[in-house]
């Protein structure tokens, strides 16, 4: 089992960004991403009704709460059961379910404090996803009706990711303690902003799968303003990392994720749902970020994203 291979088959931006992290943070974030993706697969299980999704999410939490010695063997048994009636038709997600036991084995190679963080936050997001699924109809169709509901959802699936990343960063780079308060203030926005951009981009596909996250009564301009406000706070988050002397890989990881989100939001606002940042622009933005990191200039990812639009 290769963590990078699973990342490339199950993610978009993070498959590009996670390898930029230094070890041991890279491995911890890789494992965490894959575990969060398992929970997300159960939440979005398009071939399962609501109750089957809820059962799988509850079972996943129970699995994570087992002792390391029992967890891996039990994961193999449960993976086989889940795959007897696949929850989705995405080959990468199904491969990940089949490799859950080896992923959990990798989790147990992390430092105890780090594996504890990953488990705790994975359980939190999984339980949060279960609360969302419980509000769906019997077939699993979900419709959010207000901005507070949208923000709550983005926190459950991505704001918690920002909290996990921040705790990992502070654990692995103690010098960042000088920015602890600022990072904590902004950490939710980092994850939530990226998630809201994805929701705006995937609105058509999500609707086909019975998931309507954008409240119908809220003007499009208001939703884009909400996303920009989160991304602006995420920009301040990356700037706080830089002020705190974060390792280059931390800045590359967060910076690439954010500059691509800014560029994607610009593209969506101009061209509508489903619009994507062209590969050539992605590469140009990455090269520009690398140059900024090499020069040591103060990062401004919003401004950088406009260089190639």
Q: Give the domain CATH number at 267.
A: 1.10.600.10
Same domain? For 159 and 272 the reply is yes
Cβ atoms of 57 and 156 closer than 8 Å: no
Written as six digits, the tokens of 222 are 């208001």
Phi first, then psi, for residue 255 (nearest 5°) are -65, -45
Separation CA 250–CA 241 (nearest Å): 8
Write the burial class of residue 270 (CB in 10 Å: 0-12 exposed, 13-18 middle, 19+ buried): exposed
Same domain? For 90 and 232 the reply is no
Total count of domains within the chain: 2
Written as six digits, the tokens of 304 are 């950088």
Q: What ranges make up the beta strands (E) of 86-231?
A: 142-143, 211-212
Give the global pTM. Answer: 0.94
Residue that is last in its domain, among 140, 163, 198? 140
Mean pLDDT value across residues 196-202: 92
Residues paired with residue 211 on neighbouring β-strands, in sequence order: 142
Same domain? For 304 and 209 the reply is yes
**Among the listed ranges 19-28, 30-39, 210-219, 275-284, which one has the minimum average pLDDT value?**
275-284
170-184 per-position pLDDT tens digit: 999 999 999 999 999
- The whole-number pLDDT of residue 309 equals 41
Residue that is last in its domain, among 140, 172, 203? 140
Evaluate if residue 306 carries a pLDDT over 80. no
Same domain? For 155 and 132 the reply is no
77-128 per-position pLDDT tens digit: 999 999 999 999 999 999 999 999 999 999 999 999 999 999 999 999 999 9
User: What domain range is 209 assigned to?
Assistant: 143-309
Give 271 or 118, the one with higher predicted confidence.
118
Evaluate if residue 191 carries a pLDDT over 60. yes
Same domain? For 151 and 265 the reply is yes
Same domain? For 135 and 147 the reply is no
- The whole-number pLDDT of residue 296 equals 86
Written as six digits, the tokens of 269 are 């606002």
Residue that is last in its domain, among 140, 161, 192? 140
143 by DSSP, 3-state: which? strand
Q: CA 120, 86, 10, 76 torsion: positive or negative?
A: positive
Same domain? For 26 and 160 the reply is no
Chain centre to alpha carbon of residue 271: 24
Same domain? For 212 and 300 the reply is yes
The residue assigned the tokens 């994570």 is 64
Same domain? For 209 and 231 the reply is yes
Mean pLDDT value across residues 46-70: 95
Evaluate if residue 67 carries a pLDDT over 70. yes
Same domain? For 283 and 246 the reply is yes
Band of residue 1 on the pLDDT scale cut at 50, 70, 90: confident
Same domain? For 77 and 188 the reply is no
Same domain? For 132 and 91 the reply is yes
Separation CA 246–CA 173 (nearest Å): 7
Furthest C-alpha separation in the chain: 55
């Amino acid at each position: 089992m290769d963590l990078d291979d699973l990342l490339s088959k199950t993610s978009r931006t993070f498959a590009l960004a996670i390898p930029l992290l230094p070890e041991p943070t890279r491995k911890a974030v890789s494992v965490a991403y894959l575990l969060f993706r398992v929970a997300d697969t159960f939440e979005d299980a398009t071939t399962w009704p609501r109750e089957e999704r809820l059962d799988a999410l509850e079972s996943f939490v129970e699995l994570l709460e087992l002792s390391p010695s029992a967890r891996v063997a039990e994961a193999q048994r449960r993976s086989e059961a889940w795959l007897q009636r696949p929850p989705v038709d995405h080959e990468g997600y199904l491969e990940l379910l089949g490799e859950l036991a080896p992923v959990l084995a990798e989790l147990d190679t992390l430092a105890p404090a780090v594996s504890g963080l990953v488990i705790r936050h994975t359980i939190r997001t999984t339980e949060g996803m279960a609360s969302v699924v419980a509000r769906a109809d019997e077939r699993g169709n979900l419709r959010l009706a207000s901005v507070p509901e949208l923000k709550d959802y983005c926190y459950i699936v991505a704001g918690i990711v920002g909290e996990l990343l921040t705790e990992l960063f502070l654990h692995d780079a103690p010098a960042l303690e000088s920015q602890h308060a600022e990072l904590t203030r902004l950490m939710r926005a980092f994850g939530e902003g990226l998630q809201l951009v994805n929701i705006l981009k995937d609105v058509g596909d999500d609707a086909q799968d019975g998931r309507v996250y954008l409240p119908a009564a809220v003007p499009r301009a208001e939703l884009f303003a909400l996303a920009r406000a989160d991304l602006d706070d995420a920009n301040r988050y990356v700037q706080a990392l830089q002020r705190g002397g974060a390792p280059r890989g931390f800045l590359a990881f967060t910076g690439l994720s954010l500059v691509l989100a800014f560029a994607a939001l610009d593209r969506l606002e101009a061209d509508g749902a489903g619009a994507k940042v062209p590969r050539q622009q992605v590469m140009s933005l990455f090269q520009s970020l690398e140059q900024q990191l090499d020069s040591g200039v103060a990062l401004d990812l919003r401004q950088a994203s406009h260089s190639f639009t």
